[in-house]
A and B are shown apart, each in its own frame.
Chain A
Amino acid sequence: MGSLLSRLGLECGRKAVKEEERHLRANDRELNLSYKYSDNAIKTSKYNIFTFLPLNLFEQFQRLANAYFLFLLCLQSIPEVSSLPWYTTVVPLVLVLSMTMAKDGSDDMNRHRCDKQVNNRQVEVLVEGELQSEKWMDVQVGDIVKLENNQFVTADLLLLSSSEPLNLVYIETAELDGETNLKVKQALTVTGKLEDSVEKLANFNGEVRCEPPNNRLDKFTGTLTLKGETYSLDNERILLRGCTLRNTQWCFGLVIFGGPDTKLMQNCGRTTFKRTSIDRLMNVLVLSIFGFLMIMCLILAIGNGIWEYQEGSKFAAFLPKGVNAPFSAFLTFWSYVIILNTVVPISLYVSVEIIRLGNSFYINWDRKMYYPKNDTPAEARTTTLNEELGQIKYIFSDKTGTLTQNVMTFNKCSINGKAYGELLDFSGQRVEINEKTEKVDFSWNNLADPKFCFHDNSLVEVVREGNPEVQAFFRLLSLCHTVMPEEKKEGELYYQAQSPDEGALVTAARNFGFVFRSRTPESITVVEMGELVTYELLAVLDFNNVRKRMSVIVRSPEGKLTLYCKGADTIIFERLNPSCSNLTEVTTLHLNEFAGEGLRTLALAYKDIDPEYMEDWKLRHHVANTAMDEREEKLDALYEEIEKGLLLLGSTAVEDKLQDGVPQTIEQLSKADIKIWVLTGDKQETAENIGYSCNMLREEMNEVFIVSANTSEEVRKELQTARRKMTPDGTEEPTVKKSRSGLFCLQKTETVADEPVNGEYAMVINGHSLAFALEKDMEIELLRTACMCQTVICCRVTPLQKAQVVELVKKYKQAVTLAIGDGANDVSMIKAAHIGVGISGQEGMQAVLSSDYSFAQFRYLQRLLLVHGRWSYLRMCKFLRYFFYKNFTFTFVHFWYGFFCGFSAQTVFDEWFITLFNLVYTALPVLSLSLFDQDVNDWWSFQYPQLYTPGQLNQYFSKRAFVYTVLHSGYSSLVLFFIPWAAMYDTVRDDGKEIVDYQSFALLAQTCLLIAVSIQLGLDTHYWTAMNQFFLWGSLSVYFAVIFTMYSNGMFLTLTSSFPFIGTARNSLNQPNVWLTMLLTSVLCVLPVVAYRFLRILLWPTINDKVRYKVRQDKVLPPTPRRVQARRTSTRRSGYAFSHAQGYGDLVTSGKFLRRTPKSRPALFSQTDSPLAQTQPQFYRTISEREEPPLSP
């Protein structure tokens, strides 16, 4: 479904006259047509049969490379200039053009098919008082259409009426934003009255005035004028094209935007093209190569001018010339442009695309990145960014759903001084719990949640024995919360919790025999060990961020009043009855242990209340609750008063389940010198907790700085203090390196240098402070401090801030960034980063839709980067280095020959060789190098994540490497020209006949060249698969087969003028001195490289060489050392965390949202005036991840 967005072409939003305001009247086609609004037909295809060829060619020639080759072709058609026959350019150009054309053509065919299918969908339209079935494309603005359940919304509609009460409709927006949960829309009451009466609808003549077409999915402004009255319209009344109607029998809508004007279509085609840094470097290089080419041509042209002046004019007896020296030089310049164009052959671009595509396929094919649980393979959604995966320096990760599974599990608890949840074997050793560990059998409890699992049987035994403390513990959990139950079928309970933590706790109580069954504003019904008990709910002392606790006061059927309280350990401990001090100590030990394991803890306590005191308190509570001013403070004081002298029950430990392998992945990535920043919308405690549990924050760190200030000045001060602590003798002013980059050096870049830090530090900054810190004058301060830290966690950040942080690092670090996330709130940063990764296979699809790569589990990131990314980068760099080497060598030989042919642009090679060199003789070997090569295999890549660092430093391909390549090919070309020159000088065949004729020399030079570059390829290949061997030897054999064929009698006799080299191969390849010359050139080209590399490995070994050496040393893979999860038993640290900010206890007691029948459950969403509707989570999805408006500092 999501593919609709992606396959939309560029057709969107083309309009000659800008529409100011849309005006339409229902059922008045005449008026509406007069505005010439577009109808509902969409056209995403680009071409039709007739326009395909010209349009596609036109588009293709807009690409610089293609245009350049067209220009060359034009040059070649001028006889005075043409130094090469037309086919040398035409053959590759036609090949490239036709390949692209075939791809574009098939893409467009698909688009045509989709368009046709979409345009021909049927919908019922009200025409002249009757409902008629019409095609989508015939629907006009102002028509009234009828939608039925599960139908796609035809166009952007104003909802008029629906089958559901209160004129509600439910829609699914998966195709629009990827979210699969249902959303509610509600019609105006005045239009709702139309119901499904065709007569009324046909007479409806409301006039709509609204905004012009735009791409904002979440906003709509307009008015409906009906019978002189004006009603305002907002997004609540609009059904957008692309949505699907769900749980609604029918609805009627008025078409407001059709076809290309719909928000769906307006939203497409915005995709920004991401380019890799290699791409940008290549652009610069290609440009400088052009410059270089021009210089070479200029030198040769000047040479030609001088030659013509000194020699040519006198040589005129044998070669009359019609032109003077300067003009000849001018013509020669262009002739050489043609000949030397091989420095940037068209095949470079094609090959680069093929390599990227191939490496993308490897990602799609990787079974180790396939997640069997939801059948999701990894996907490279963008095929042009692969090599950048090998250069990542900063990773920005979302937390919920990315690092964590967003599943909370009740893992351990401590009740009355005894800890449960740990499995010990006979010797008292801790048993690691995994999927195979036997689970506790809850079959005795028929209301138990089957998905709940717990491994410690002793707890069940205790609870079934009737231990009063344990029972009280679970009773508390079943009473003290704000969860809503839902019982669709008898015994099938469904909990809707505001935060997953609460859900987990209540579910735990449920499984241990304290089943929270139902609630009313005044009561809570619990099944306690099979017995139905109803408690009277007297008060809910709600949770908030300051209190960090919540309590309920209930009256049991026996009339006993009890206050149950759960909250942060530190807070609870302050309010305990002194008699609990012993228990507190033991519990603290347990809490430390839990916190050390990264579990989220809550302390539980209770207190029996005197009924008389309660009466009094209740009165005061009522007064406070109805007070007009300072209500909050008064209530807080009351709560404080009653939550005192509590008796400790124990503590719970909930695991915010990390995805598998997250700490290991993070460890691996940080070994690869990749910095990971966590950007989360979660609360600080939660974020910190996760930081600890996935090893990003460690107890042994020197310090964890927490930046949470309320003013700009304070934030600055905190940042500075942190920085000074990390580098006491560092400079105050940042070291900013200014440089220029990009084409023509037009881009100014500022790079903030990395600063050395002693020790390990971490920083946690909250969204409020971040808002200040991201301001222009403080951003560098933030960046400096943050970059010194090992770990940076930003919590409570908005989606916009996420993107801003990414942009900040991109701007001042000139480093490659990657953002990974799963939800809609991560889209902005996924788009902002160089590479966006989406976690797929979960509810939301939006992150995946805007990502470049997607896979199901965070841990696959290390494989994506350390294996695929590294290899892609390595391969691309090898390819580029080799490719430039090969072509520069090829071209330079022509340059040298210029001095021996009167600078006449005479090619030194056979024209066919020039045509086929890049296309046939060297294409496949170099492709196989860049598709199969690996320095070490994936196992070793994981073993030595340090292998990743050369990519971050651009070590394999840079301007420097390019210059080396050019110098190397300069040397090679000298060898390849002057050795044959000297070896053949004045010599003859062994039968005295000619051997230094042009054709023989050309054959010798080209064979030497091909052999030399082939051997060089062999030297560059580290991983010789059968394919490499086959292609390399195959290409050489093909070369010899081709020359013997082309220089054969038959070819000459059929195409005399095209194959003038007849007999050359036979006559010169039987000469020993020819072969000796080839041997000499090959050895001279290759041995210096071998010697240099050998010495370099000895003297300055890179990490790469070392690992390769090590691989050689131990061929047999040593067993992977079993990773022992380090347990931290250290300084007291509260493991308290709770994922929601503010409870909705008042709603529970006011009963506002209990007024619903089970059938109309989703109606809950429509009550937009209640805060609940906005914060209502989908089952266990935390609400804290929801989008917040950007903070305005």
Chain B
Amino acid sequence: MMKEELETTNRPDNTAFTQQRLPAWQPMLSAGIVIPGFVLIGLAFIGIGVALFITSQNITVLEKDYTGVETTSDCYKCSNPSDKNCTCKLEFSLSTLFEGPVFFYYGLSNYFQSQRSYGASKDEYQLSGDLDYFKTPISACSPYQYDANQNPIVPCGSLANSMFNDTFKLYQIVNGTKKLVPFDGKGIAWWTDYNIKYRNPSVTPLKNAFNGTVKPSFWSKPAYELDTSDPSNNGFVNQDFLVWMRRAALPDFRKLYRRITEGDYARGLPAGNYSLEIAYNYPVLSFGGRKKVVFSNVSWMGGKNQFLGIAYLVVGSLCVVMSMVMLIVYAKFKFPEDD
């Protein structure tokens, strides 16, 4: 018999890829994996949940509203925006030691830092010390780009303009005398914001860089005078300014104001009576906002947040319950008997 040589130039290649025979792992949702998996995840979640819950429980938080809506409040007198340089007092007492380090926050509610045009209304170049943008801020800053006389505003934009300007002083009442609790305002902003993102122009004195510019209209003093005592906390790298400029994601937010870490208060706030003196400057009532102060300590999981712990507990328990259900169903409908 003649052996025919077949021409096979068009024969496709025999590779695992072209023949769709790539080796593969083909997992299946089998009872052996799913049910123990649910149990394990459930137990792990309950474990994490308990840890989170306890941690959260151990965090102390003291929150005080000082908007001055209620007439009984001392700050009621300051709630009229026409009243300038008003100070009010907020008194509270601690029955036990408020463990330190204690962080002192101010909080705002119904305040939309998350609004798009509000958030966009700043000039990154200007804030990184680019002098060209001192003269011509970007248009996103409008209407806080130029003042009525066409002088450029530095720092420009709504975000900078609306910087929070209430100031606080905390006194412990010891035997009827007020003892100032020292605040630490260093390092309350992100390291990257302080060192990289925001920079003052390299002009000394700093004031000269601001020649021909005007301060934001709401500000009482120009940027180069935010902290005249400490040049490393002045201008765009002022910690309070940095904290404000890191805009909040949600309409209710709190921002770090000071830390209480020094002197007698390094271990925390001892039990006793305290008085907080507030220089009430920031108007929020017009838009139904609220202002508050918060004293809080932190844990490994950050500030106090009950939700995460509870959520883990609930989800963990649900997993365990679900695994039971699946086990029962599996026992009843053992898959598949037929075939």
Contact = CB atoms under 8 A, between A and B. Distances in A.
B162 to A, nearest CB: 4
Contacts of B259: 992
A440 interface: no
Interface stretch (B20-28, B147-155, B168-176): B20-28
A314 B26 CA distance: 59
A364 B12 CA distance: 8
Task: Indicate the size class of the contact surface on chain A.
Answer: 35 or more
A1053 B112 CA distance: 29
B192 interface: yes
Contacts of A997: 246-249
Contacts of A996: 248-250, 253
A1023 B110 CA distance: 50
Interface string A979-1014: 101111111111111111111111000000000000
B201 to A, nearest CB: 14
Given A904-B116, A993-B188, A1083-B315, A983 B305 contact: yes
A1049 interface: yes
Contacts of A376: 10
Given A315-B112, A987-B304, A1025-B24, A993 B256 contact: yes
Interface stretch (A140-148, A267-275, A689-697, A1107-1115): A1107-1115
A774 B308 CA distance: 70
A984 to B, nearest CB: 8
B307 A83 contact: no
B286 A990 contact: no
Given A985-B307, A988-B298, A988-B303, A1084 B315 contact: yes
Task: Indicate the size class of the contact surface on chain B.
Answer: 35 or more
Nearest to A900: B250
A687 B37 CA distance: 60
B235 interface: no
B65 to A, nearest CB: 14
A811 to B, nearest CB: 36
A373 interface: yes
B302 interface: yes
Contacts of B14: 367
Given A901-B114, A1025-B24, A1076 B52 contact: yes
Contact of A375 (B6, B124, B286): B6
A618 interface: no
B246 A1095 contact: no
A79 B121 CA distance: 12
A1099 B325 CA distance: 13
Q: Which of A79, A979, A987, A1106 has the most CB of B within 10 A?
A: A987
A1090 interface: yes
Interface string B137-148: 011000100000
Contacts of A315: 112, 115, 287
A377 B248 contact: no
A362 B20 contact: yes
Contacts of B302: 987-990, 995, 1071-1073
B192 A370 contact: no
A364 B246 CA distance: 57
B9 interface: yes
Contact of A1094 (B29, B139, B197): B29
B24 A988 contact: no
Contact of A991 (B7, B139, B298): B298
A1001 B249 contact: yes
Interface in B3-43: 6-14, 18-31, 34, 37-38, 41
Given A901-B112, A1063-B196, A1109 B298 contact: no
A1174 B34 CA distance: 72
B86 interface: no
A372 B6 contact: yes
A84 to B, nearest CB: 10
B196 A319 contact: no
Interface stretch (B68-76, B91-99, B268-276, B329-337): B329-337
A1063 B193 contact: yes
A1065 B244 CA distance: 19
Given A314-B286, A366-B12, A904-B115, A992 B101 contact: yes
16 contacts: A315-B287, A317-B162, A319-B112, A320-B143, A375-B11, A376-B10, A984-B249, A986-B107, A987-B305, A990-B299, A992-B303, A1057-B124, A1067-B190, A1087-B41, A1094-B326, A1108-B28
Interface of B: 6-14, 18-31, 34, 37-38, 41, 45, 48, 52, 101, 103, 105, 107, 110, 112-119, 121, 124-125, 128, 130, 138-139, 143, 158, 161-162, 188-193, 196-197, 243, 246-256, 259, 283, 286-288, 296, 298-305, 307-308, 311-312, 315, 319, 322, 326, 329-330, 333, 335-336, 338-339
Q: What 5 pairs across the A-B complex have the smallest Cβ distances?
A: A1063-B192, A1001-B249, A365-B18, A314-B287, A318-B162
